[in-house]
Amino acid sequence: MTEQHDVVVVGSANADLVVRVERWPAPGHTVPGSDLAVVPGGKGANQAVAAARLGGRVAFVGRVGDDPYGTLLRGSLERAGVALDALVTTPGPSGTALITVGPEGESSIIVSPGANGRVTPDDIDRAAGVVGAARVVSLQLEIPMPAVRRAAETAAAAGARVVLNPSPAGPVPLAVLALCDPLVVNEHEAAYLLDGAVGDPAAGAAALRALGPRSAVITLGAAGAVTADATGTARIPAPRVRAVDTTGAGDAFTAALCLRLARGDDLAAAARFAVRAGAAAVRREGAQPSFPTAAELP
């Protein structure tokens, strides 16, 4: 019998190549930066590690390459206690992300998919026992949409709750949106899906729900988050912290949200826990190295 997990993450694993700068380069310009840091990342692996560090039973479904970065990524997930029976090592490079961090902790990211781009619906079918035994299945868009769709359908058919963070922003089929509970976006992703800037976040969350998902969450950085479900909308403030590096903060939020939903919280209560995890993650450099345990939440 397949072990039931609180959260199963189907998604990407990237090696993050991080450089800090005092100012952003203009096109054609060169600026000095810090020493290069190579740390494990990728939205999928980030969420898996963050949920496990908060005490969740977590499994990861995806691909890494047979290069040194793949070894780094697998090792990070293993150390966090994430189950890796459905993590495939494939010939070729692992995913990588080129990350520039500015003086206020804000980040700019370019992703090279590598092995993540070779995740297929067949991978999901082979992992159907793991996906179907989850309480919550977390998805993002750093793997191909056919695999995302198959994972959402497999999870929903088995009675698991589907959480989608459509990042990087891209088209999402209506059939996938209809399975989301919730859809989790930041303000830029919300604007993309709504085809226009989000004014009032509560109205934006309600408008996202009108696209088809059963519930929606818009993350607002230091301002917290807003939720919308059948009971209405709720504004969730975030703790005040000094931001050192925002890389991975959204993944920490989504992971914590998924974990609390798996444990039975309603959406607003889960979001109140999640904003604390996101706030904790910005206090340290890097993505996975910054993720808190429950005892470290502000």
Residue list, annotated binding site for K(+): 245, 247, 281, 284, 286, 290
Question: H-helix or E-strand containing 145?
Answer: helix 145-157
CA of residue 167 relative to chain centroid, distance: 8
| Residue numbering of the annotated binding site for ATP | 186, 219-224, 250-251
- Whole-angstrom Cα distance, residue 146 to residue 298? 38
Nearest one of 256, 257, 249 to 282, comparing CA atoms? 249
Q: Is 229 a catalytic residue?
A: no
Considering 6, 251, 265, 266, which one is annotated as catalytic? 251
Residue 284 in tokens: 């340290």
Residue 16 · residue 49 · CB < 8 Å:
no
What are the contacts of 159-163 at 24+ separation with CB within 8 A?
160/8, 160/131, 160/132, 160/133, 160/134, 160/135, 160/136, 161/135, 161/136, 161/137, 161/261, 161/262, 162/136, 162/137, 163/136, 163/137, 163/138, 163/139, 163/254, 163/257, 163/258, 163/261
Q: So which residues are the catalytic ones?
A: 251
